[in-house]
Amino acid sequence: MSKLVAKGAEASLYLEDYYGHPVIRKHRRPKPYRLPQIDAKLRTDRTIREARLLASARHAGVATPIVYQIDVENATIIMEYIEGQRVKELIPELTKTKRQSLFKEIGKAVALLHQHEVTHGDLTTSNMIQSSPKVIYFIDFGLAGITQNIEDFGTDLHLLRRALLSTHYPHWEDCYSAFKEGYRTTFGKRTTDVFRKVDAIESRGRYITERIR
C-alpha cells in the first residue's frame, strides 16, 4: 500500500504500511534545476536535520511523530502516522471555551520547544494534529532549526498569528490570546522579550507594506 496524501514544493508524503503499522513516508524529491551533487547534499542534510529535530522536540516533551527509519541515500524519512484531526479543521467546530483551552495547550507546547532551543519554522494550524485522547502533535519540521535567538522565537509566533488572521479570522483574537497565556506560563521571564519581538516583526511588515504603496 502506498498512497500519496500530500505534495509540497520540497517533498511528497505517502501513507504506507510498515510491518503492519500505518506510517508516513516523506520523500524529498530531486530538483532538476540544481546541480546533482548540490541537490543530493541539500536533500540529505535537510532529511537528517528534520529527523533530529523531531527527536529533539519529543525530548522537550512535545508530541511529534516517531521516526522509524531514515533512508539518507534517498532523502526519505519513515515516521509514525498520526490519526486525528488537523487543528485547522477543528477550530470552527469548537466552542469558544474549548478553542481557548486548545490554544493554551498549544502555547505551552511551543514554549517547551523554545525552551529547548527548537523553532518550528512553519507554525500554522495545518501543522498541528489533535489525536485521541486529545494529544496535540506537531508535524512537518522541514523548516525547523536550533537557535537561542529571540528573533527566531518571535518569528514562530508571528507566523502563527498571521495564520490565525488569514485562516481563522472570526476566532483569531481568542485563539491567539489563549496561546499567549499558555506560552507565558511555560516560557517564563523571557516571554516579554519574545512578545516585543513579535510586535517589532509586525511593525517591520507594516512599514514595508506602506513603502510599497
Of the three residues 80, 98, 115, the one that is the final residue of a domain is: 80
**Is 204's pLDDT higher than 90?**
no
pLDDT of residue 212: 32
* CATH number for the domain that contains residue 26: 3.30.200.20
Asked if 213 and 142 touch (Cβ cutoff 8 Å), the reply is no
Of the three residues 25, 46, 80, the one that is the final residue of a domain is: 80
Mean pLDDT for 193-213 is 70
Q: DSSP letter string over the chain?
A: -EEEEEE-SSEEEEEEEETTEEEEEEEE---TTS-HHHHHHHHHHHHHHHHHHHHHHHHTT-B-PPEEEEETTTTEEEEE---EEEHHHHGGGS-HHHHHHHHHHHHHHHHHHHHTTEE-S---GGGEEEETTTEEEE---TT-EE---HHHHHHHHHHHHHHHHHH-GGGHHHHHHHHHHHHHHHHGGGHHHHHHHHHHHHHHHHHHHHHH-
Of the three residues 59, 80, 101, the one that is the final residue of a domain is: 80
pLDDT of residue 205: 64
Q: Are 194 and 103 within one domain?
A: yes
pLDDT of residue 135: 95
Q: Are 98 and 200 within one domain?
A: yes
Global pTM?
A: 0.92
Give Cα separations from 162 to 14, 40, 56, 199 (angstroms): 29, 33, 26, 12
**Is 209's pLDDT higher than 70?**
no
Q: pLDDT-derived band of residue 9, with 50, 70 and 90 as boundaries?
A: confident
Q: Are 63 and 149 within one domain?
A: no
Q: Are 88 and 177 within one domain?
A: yes
19 compared with 133, residue with greater pLDDT = 19
Closest among 24, 38, 40 to 140, alpha carbons compared: 24
List pLDDT tens digits, range 29-69: 999 899 989 999 999 999 999 999 999 999 999 999 999 99
pLDDT of residue 200: 94
Q: pLDDT-derived band of residue 213, with 50, 70 and 90 as boundaries?
A: very low
Cell of 84: 486525528
Query: What is the rounded distance in angstroms from the CA atom of residue 119 to the CA atom of residue 41?
Result: 23
List pLDDT tens digits, range 136-173: 999 999 999 999 999 999 999 999 999 999 999 999 99
List pLDDT tens digits, range 93-143: 999 999 999 999 999 999 999 999 999 999 999 999 999 778 999 999 999
Give the residue numbers marked as catalytic. 122
Query: What is the rounded distance in angstroms from the CA atom of residue 8 to the CA atom of residue 126?
Result: 13
Mean pLDDT for 186-200 is 95
Domain span including residue 72: 2-80
